[in-house]
Structure 1
Amino acid sequence: MADFSRLPGPNADLWDWQLLAACRGVDSSLFFHPEGERGAARSARENSAKEVCMRCPVRAECAAHALAVREPYGVWGGLTEDEREELMGRARNRLITAAPTTAPAASVTSMTTSAASTASATATGRPIAERT
């Protein structure tokens, strides 16, 4: 379940980007898998959802939002659940590797910010050094 405590309060300025989203009016079942969906069916649905995302003017904002609130389900900003988890893991690993052994662990906010930056670069098509 999403961590709602990380969501910003009711401030239209923070949410207005959603009004420009290419997915507005598209059936949400395209972006969220039904129970038990696997394999080729899931890949086909995710690819169709990503096609909508690729023409979206707010793709980067969407991906950054999904990473910031740790959205566990669906395709957001052209990133699947697994892709977001991978980005968060990369950010976590970079912070752990970069942190001195005597320093406390990096904050979750730093990990989220790093992963959101990576997602934003991914969504906008800019090259990412860590990308394999």
Structure 2
Amino acid sequence: MNWRLRAACRDQDPDVFFPIGSSGMSLVQIAEAKALCGRCPVAQECLAWAVGAGRVEGVWGGTTENERRALRIREDLGS
């Protein structure tokens, strides 16, 4: 997981990437995390890791756990 050394989030408060809930202020927190991911040079590697790892909480590669679950379902249906 050498890509983590180049991640834009490595010097950020980790709490930003692990919101409690999916409404209210959590939506603001998710948007902030996704904005950081949008500027990250290793977002694709991060996303690939999170999708491959299965159920992983938080925002990884610019996606929430629910968004990654949907990606996995689409991948499974496409296979």
Note whether the superposition's TM-score is higher than 0.5: yes
SS in 1 for 2:59: coil
CA distance in 2, matches of 1:44, 1:69: 26
In structure 2, what is the equivalent of residue 52 of structure 1?
36
Q: Which amino acid aligns with 2:46?
A: C
Shift, 1:27, TM fit: 0.8
- Structure 1 unmatched runs, 5+: 1-14, 96-132
In structure 2, what is the equivalent of residue 16 of structure 1?
2
* Aligned-residue CA RMSD (Å): 1.1
Task: Give matches, 1:1-132, under 5 Å.
Answer: 15-34=1-20, 37-95=21-79
Q: Which amino acid aligns with 2:75?
A: A
CA distance in 1, matches of 2:71, 2:49: 13
Shift, 1:38, TM fit: 3.5
CA distance in 2, matches of 1:77, 1:93: 22
CA distance in 1, matches of 2:3, 2:17: 18
- Structure 2 unmatched runs, 5+: none
Q: TM-score, structure 2 length as denominator? A: 0.91
The ranges of structure 1 where at least 4 consecutive aligned residues each deviate by more than 3 angstroms after the TM superposition are none
CA distance in 2, matches of 1:20, 1:27: 16
